[in-house]
Structures are given as C-alpha cells and as structure tokens.
Structure 1
C-alpha cells in the first residue's frame, strides 16, 4: 500500500469517527489532467457536523500519518469544506450541496469506491 493510499484510509477513519456518511473514493490516478490522485467525498447532516468531520480528519491524519493539509477552504460556512493534502483532496458536504455539485459524475472515467456507512 502506498503512502497516498494509507492517507486515504486514515482520512476515512477520521470521517467515520464523526459519523460522516456516504463516503466515496474517486481514484483519479489514471486520469490525464487530474488535480490529485484521489478525491474522498463525504457528507455531514449539519454545518456543525461538517466542521467536526473536518477537524477529525485533520487530527487523525496528523497523528497517524504526520500529514497536514496544504489548504482548507470553506470553514466558517461549513456547507462544503475542501481539504487539500496534495495527492488527496477531501470534500465534506452538506447533502443538498453535494447533490448540486455532483462531483462523482464530473469524474465519470474514474474508479469510484463507496464505503458502507457505519451504524
């Protein structure tokens, strides 16, 4: 498993710790012009949950992998937060915003992996 794949796993752990839902991994590694190797997309049911998921990802990635995001955009608004880990971009949405932007369909050529929700 590569360092980037380990980071993806760690990010998923951070999402699940705050009960983030509908996690999709978009594998962009084989796509020309892609801005990252992976997108990790998930959602929270409220702005406060979106913020909690963002903080959890940051904490778990730092503790487990020694990784910090290069940039985080959308905090304060908490409808769509993007975390940039260079090779991995994390998108944390409110459900209606996720549906509107529909990132999964923008990258139809990519391999999509859906992670089952934890109960």
Structure 2
C-alpha cells in the first residue's frame, strides 16, 4: 500500500513539473532547467524549475501565464510569490516545486545553477 502511494505521489509531481515546463515553453521562456533537489542534504524544496526572459514585461507575463495555467488545470495557487514588484526575478512556490522566472542578467548574477550544481539537472529545449 505504501509503495503504491509513493508511486502516485511521484507521478503527480512529475505531471505537475511537466505541466509547468509546458506552460513556460508556451509563454516563450528561455533556457528552462529543472533541478531535482531531493537527494541533497536539507534542500529547500524537491524541485526548482528555472527559466529566463529578455525583459521585465516578459518575466511578468511568464509568471502570470504559469499561475493562470496551474489555477485553471490543477486548481492550484502558489503558496507564496515573490518579486512581482520589480520583476527581475519572480519566484512561484508550489510547495514541492518552486518556479524561478529571471531576467537574463539577474539569473547570471545569482547563478542558482552554480549553487545547486550537485542536483540532478534536466535541460529543456527552447520552443
């Protein structure tokens, strides 16, 4: 019974993450990367999904698109959002997955990829 529950939870996580990536691709986000943090010591969450945009307007539009899609299709709202005021880095916290939408320069400055380089990484094509 416990194994089946674990499989179901894992499937739901992957389904959510795949949906988020699809939503990011639909909104023309660039350089999408997923970090699986579960095997690291004391991770802040299970997954980070990171992407970038060329303008503040595009950062806002991407974050709004993901929020809308998850609300409509999953009936899911972020537990917390941060960064909407200046929109150089917007974080959407969906408990097990945190979505980071960066302005390109801000992503390079904070370098989350370098910070979490020990995680399992999946890169996605720009569409």
TM-score range (shorter-chain normalised) is: over 0.9
Normalized per residue, the structure richer in helix is 2
Query: What RMSD in Å do the two structures reach over aligned CA positions?
Result: 1.0
Pairing 1:8-87 to 2, within 5 Å after superposition: 8-87=17-96
CA deviation after TM superposition for structure 1 residue 15, in Å: 1.0
State the TM-score, normalized to the length of structure 2.
0.89
Q: Distance in 1 between matches of 2:70 and 2:39?
A: 25
Q: Distance in 1 between matches of 2:13 and 2:71?
A: 14
Q: Runs of 4+ in structure 1 displaced over 2 angstroms?
A: none
Return 5+ residue gaps in structure 2 as ranges.
1-9
SS of the residue 1:77 aligns to: coil
State the TM-score, normalized to the length of structure 1.
0.95
CA deviation after TM superposition for structure 1 residue 32, in Å: 1.7
Show the counterpart of 1:7. 16
Answer with 1 or 2: which has the greater Rg.
2
Number of equivalences: 118
Return 5+ residue gaps in structure 1 as ranges.
none
Q: Distance in 1 between matches of 2:115 and 2:74?
A: 29
